[in-house]
Amino acid sequence: MTIERLFNLTGKVAIVTGGHSGIGQGLADGLAEAGANLVIAGRRYEVCEEVSQEIASRYGVQSLAVRCDVTHNEDVDKLVEATLARFEKLDIMVNSAGISGSEKPITEISEGYWDRVLSVNLKGTFLCSRAAARTMIKQREGKIINVASMDAFITARNMADYSASKGGVLQLTRATALDLVKYNIQVNAICPGYFLTPMNLKFFTTEAGKKVIDQKIPMRRLGNVEELKGIAIYLASSASSFTTGAAIIVDCGETIW
């Protein structure tokens, strides 16, 4: 198979949760550029619809917006149902919906906020992976891509809730990969370092944020979501047919510095 065909996603159907903003939007954009039809899912339907129309217009693919709270099983089931009703199949599930941690020491993290972080970041990934897998098993093929974090490997002060959730995503990725390998379904994780997104923009304009860039990131700059597109296309395409249970760290070397 030629390199062009290996990475070609024309005709494939991908759901991207959290695809209306930040890293999720960057991944969705990359998959569409490679030819995939998209379902952009998130809690803010109007924003999902806006991004969906913009991507469809830019790349000439089909795109659908669906309101979905990934912490609610009913929403997730309806998301997959809407996808199948429109496209009659599901090839790629990208679990990108997530929230940041409380940025407090463990003694000050409320039980409610802990539950919220684990619910969105870990439970949401579980619910979406499970729903996608049930369809992909019938198709005898599929790709599940989870967005974890470098914080699944290292951590910092005041990151207990976020690090626990992303560590859980990493282990969920591995366990799901083992469960689904016999069905020709590959399950992998992207583990980003510091990328500039609407979620962290305010922090990185502060002196503390600038200190993080200068002291923790070898290139002394933040990543651009454009720099995640290639990884997403690889994991969504035939090029990764022998890759499963992997965690690809994209952090400018921070975890080894």
Residue 114: inside a domain:
yes
Phi/psi at 131 (5° precision): -65, -40
Tell me what the pLDDT averaged over the chain comes to.
Answer: 96
Residue 255: inside a domain:
no
Residue 87: inside a domain:
yes
Q: Given this model, what pLDDT does residue 89 score?
A: 98
Residue 119: inside a domain:
yes
> What would the pLDDT profile of 111-137 be if each residue is shown by its tens digit?
999 999 999 999 999 999 999 999 999
Q: Given this model, what pLDDT does residue 208 score?
A: 86
> What would the pLDDT profile of 130-185 be if each residue is shown by its tens digit?
999 999 999 999 999 999 999 999 988 999 999 999 999 999 999 999 999 999 99
As given in the structure block, the two tokens for residue 18 are 């959290």
Q: What is the CATH number of the domain that holds 178?
A: 3.40.50.720
Residue 97: inside a domain:
yes
Nearest to 82, CA basis, from 35, 19, 27, 39: 39
Specify the number of domains making up the chain. Answer: 1
Domain that includes residue 227, residue range: 3-250
Residue 161: inside a domain:
yes
Nearest to 30, CA basis, from 194, 189, 237: 237
Residue 256: inside a domain:
no
As given in the structure block, the two tokens for residue 126 are 């579980």
Q: Which residues are catalytic?
A: 162
DSSP symbol at 27 = H
Residue 214: inside a domain:
yes
